[in-house]
Amino acid sequence: KKILPQVELWAGGPEVSYDAVEFLKKNPAFFGVMVGEGEETFHELAGYYIERKPETLSGIRGVAFRDENKGRDVVHTGWRELMDLSKVPFAYSNLTEFKNRIIYYESSRGCPFSCSYCLSSIDKKLRFRDIELVKKELQFFIDNKVPQVKFVDRTFNCKHDHAMEIWRYITENDNGITNFHFEISSDLLGEEELELFAKMRPGLIQLEIGVQSTNGETVDAIHRHMDLDKLFHYVDSVHELGNIHQHLDLIAGLPYENYERFGCSFDDLYAHEPDQLQLGFLKVLKGTMMEEEVKKYSILYRNQPPYEVLGTKWLSYDEIILLKGVEELVELYYNSGQYTLTLKYAVPFFESPFRFYEMFSAWYRGKGYHKLNHNRLEKYNILREFLREHIDENEWDTLDEIMLYD
């Protein structure tokens, strides 16, 4: 703004949409905010600046801006109606810039669920892109041999027919290269999906399943609806197929889950042998129900993005730091997939999987290993050093053989 004082700066997105007027009061350099869904609003805004159509900004729905005629008071034109998702232009018609890159793709917007920490729970309108249009666009990725397409649909399989049509299409038109990533609710799967999954090439799809917690009280508090028995049944069924990579997600810092109880959730997920176990930390996002419940749950969180939890009524800051250490070693050792047999052999010597990673993390930090980057061989030696200090000497030879095999 100092360099180009004549330029009017605009902001947009969920970060500023839910408190647009407040944002403009606190940030004098900004002239306006695009509120909510931005495709049509941005297009009209560009029209206003290029052709002065409409003639005034107040003719555009979904903006908040400073009115020079009213002493720079902020005018808010209200949220615009949600658009037809099929009218959103395809973003990837020229793929030269995207060679060897991950592509993000959207076949639906919104979510039928109401998880209190999630922005998708605010807008209850679930919309789908026309299925024939989706197939045409997916064929473009397949023809261009894109390495990975990540669907950003919040719950991809919330509409059975839509999900099945897409899964069938990518199975029938598989190019042997492209991988498709989906966030799903596995308790919405059924036998029809399993039959189709069984026909897929290994690596054609990968599934990310947000379990978040196995504590019933926590699940109720965040307004999440899932049948855990059914969820794990289908996680296990997919695992048995052996051709689909599965991620299971947890969130630390949720209501009613203390450090010990989080350890139970961790062990519950670990028992199902996911290909990746992702430990996330609660983010208190603007506009969510969780933001309104901050006082109720004594949640402390960062003022700056990503607004990550620092403590709750049940979880102290010190415990969050311990969990960060656990997360680091799960990422380095479990999720890397380089130590599979070693971990399978070694973890049962400890009270629980969570205790193993907790003790390993405390030891790892105590040695100062967290301050350095290690190559793969060094990481093996670090794990070997830890295990030799914590398991019986009679097991060392077997351990070395298994490590060598890994």
CA 34 – CA 9 distance, rounded (Å) = 11
Tell me what the pLDDT averaged over the chain comes to. 95
Exposure on the CB side of residue 306, measured as CA atoms within 13 A? 6
**Nearest partner of 350 among 314, 387, 384, judged by Cα:** 387
* CB-facing half-sphere around the CA of 105: CA atoms within 13 A: 28
Write the pLDDT tens digit of every residue in 284-323: 998 899 999 999 999 999 999 899 999 999 999 999 999 9
Average pLDDT over residues 124-153: 94
Q: Residue range 402-406: average pLDDT?
A: 97
- Cα separation, 386 vs 391, in Å, equals 9
Tens digits of residue pLDDT in 345-358: 999 999 999 999 99
Instruction: Supply the pTM of this predicted model.
Output: 0.93
Query: What mean pLDDT is predicted for residues 23-43?
Result: 95
Q: How many CB atoms lie within 10 A of CB 295?
A: 7
Residue 252 has pLDDT above 80, yes or no: yes
Q: How confident is the model at residue 124 (pLDDT cuts 50, 70, 90)?
A: low
Average pLDDT score over residue span 330-337? 97
Q: What are phi and psi of 184, to 5 degrees?
A: -130, 170
At 244, give phi and psi (nearest 5°).
Answer: -130, 125
Greater confidence (71 vs 142) lies with 142
Give the integer Cα–Cα distance in Å for 137 and 166.
11
Listed residue (120, 40, 42) closest to 82, CA to CA: 40
User: CA–CA separation, 360 vs 347, rounded Å?
Assistant: 11
Q: Which residues pair with 183 in a beta bridge?
A: 208
- Closest C-alpha among 158, 283, 147 to residue 222: 283
